[in-house]
Structures are given as structure tokens and as C-alpha cells.
Amino acid sequence: MKFKGYIQVYTGNGKGKTTASLGLALRAAGRGMNVYMAQFMKKGEYGELKIVEEKLSDFITIKQFGLPEWHYSSKGVQQKETDAALEGIKAVKEAIESKKYKIIIMDEINVLLYFKIIDVKLVLDIIDNKPEDTELVLTGRYAPEEILKRADLITEMKDIKHYFDNKVSAREGIEF
């Protein structure tokens, strides 16, 4: 049976969008599929990077296209933010064109679009031109309507209660 790739969106204000996409990556790797994850707006030592590099690099590739700290403000987008994002878009296109990966994850891409760090047309082009046998996953809160209209699966993570509300800081192994 030929693999049919769909478009999945994990969005919403709740915790778990990146984690869900990593669960999918792990499941695919367990079936011998190759996965490419572009982490937008992230730069740093996250637990998933460590385990993938040490144990799963034959199946899962994670690349970060962020800055150590994002500074979006009312003054607008800094050029270095756009440059980092465009580098990630280029890498995603190259990963798709390589035909090595069955699953492509664009982690936090929706946030980039919300803050207009890049134009939504760049992502719509990727969606519209992805090979039929490639699964595409887009994560991040604030998924734009143009993305949602093209999605085959949309999961909204809803924040009902979170320990961050009680001033708990991000914890190693849980949030990063």
C-alpha cells in the first residue's frame, strides 16, 4: 500500500504541541520512517535534541532555526528574526526535495506567521507543493485561517490549568 501524506496542525494555547509532534516522530521512526523537524523560534539545548542526536539520528533529524532569544516587539520584526526563519523555510524545502523524509515537522511555524516574521504565502507554497507521500505537521499557537483551511487534521491544545500560572518555571526534561 502506498503511503498517503496528510497535513496536520497542532495549535492552541495549551501545552503539548511540540510534544505531540515528537510522539509522531518517534512512532514513525519505530516503523523505519525518516522524519525531519525544523524548530522555528527555538535555539538552545532541548531534551529532544540530545536524545535524537545520541540514539535516533538514523531516523530523526532536528534542526533549529531560531535565535537564542526572540525579541518581537511593538517596534516590529527584526531582520535577524526574518533571516533565521527564511533559513528554516529553505531547509524544509530542501528536506522535502531530498525525498528522504516521510514526515516533515515545522515546529512553531504558526507563531512565526502570527507575528508576521515571514509571509504565510511561503508556508502555503510548501503545503500546496508537498509530495503526495509526505506528511506535513505544523505546530504552534495562533494557526492562521489559511493554514487551517488546507489542513486534513487539526488538534487544538486547550489550556485549562497550568502550573506556570503559579509561577513555576520551565523544568528540564518537561518543558525543555
pLDDT of the residue at 59: 97
Q: Is residue 34 part of a domain?
A: yes
pLDDT of the residue at 37: 98
At 39, give phi and psi (nearest 5°): -95, 105
pLDDT of the residue at 174: 80
Q: Is residue 174 part of a domain?
A: no
CATH, residue 139 = 3.40.50.300
Residue 176 CB burial class (10 angstroms; 0-12, 13-18, ≥19) = middle
CA–CA distance, 103 with 105 (Å, rounded to integer): 7
Q: Is residue 1 part of a domain?
A: no
Tell me the residue length of the chain. 176
Task: State the 10-residue block means of pLDDT for the chain, 176 residues long.
Answer: 91 95 97 97 82 93 86 72 95 98 98 94 98 98 98 95 86 79
pLDDT of the residue at 73: 59
pLDDT of the residue at 148: 98
CA–CA distance, 81 with 163 (Å, rounded to integer): 30
Q: Structural domain tally of the chain?
A: 1
Task: Report how far Cα 152 is from the mean position of its chain's Cα atoms.
Answer: 16
Q: Are the C-beta atoms of residues 155 and 18 closer than 8 Å to each other?
A: no
Report the SS3 class of residue 136. Answer: strand
Q: Is residue 68 part of a domain?
A: yes
pLDDT of the residue at 163: 85
End-to-end CA distance of the chain: 37
Cα dist. 43→59, 67, 104, 111 in Å?
21, 5, 19, 15
pLDDT of the residue at 71: 61
Q: Are the C-beta atoms of residues 13 and 158 closer than 8 Å to each other?
A: yes
C-alpha cell at 44: 538552545
Dihedral (C-alpha) 42, 92, 108, 170: value to the nearest 10 degrees? -30
CA–CA distance, 138 with 147 (Å, rounded to integer): 9
pLDDT of the residue at 45: 82
pLDDT of the residue at 72: 59
CA–CA distance, 171 with 153 (Å, rounded to integer): 30
Q: Is residue 171 part of a domain?
A: no
Its pTM stands at 0.91
Q: Is residue 113 part of a domain?
A: yes
Q: Is residue 176 part of a domain?
A: no
pLDDT of the residue at 66: 85
Q: Is residue 173 part of a domain?
A: no
**Could you tell me the residue range of the domain that residue 39 belongs to?**
7-166
CA–CA distance, 135 with 138 (Å, rounded to integer): 10
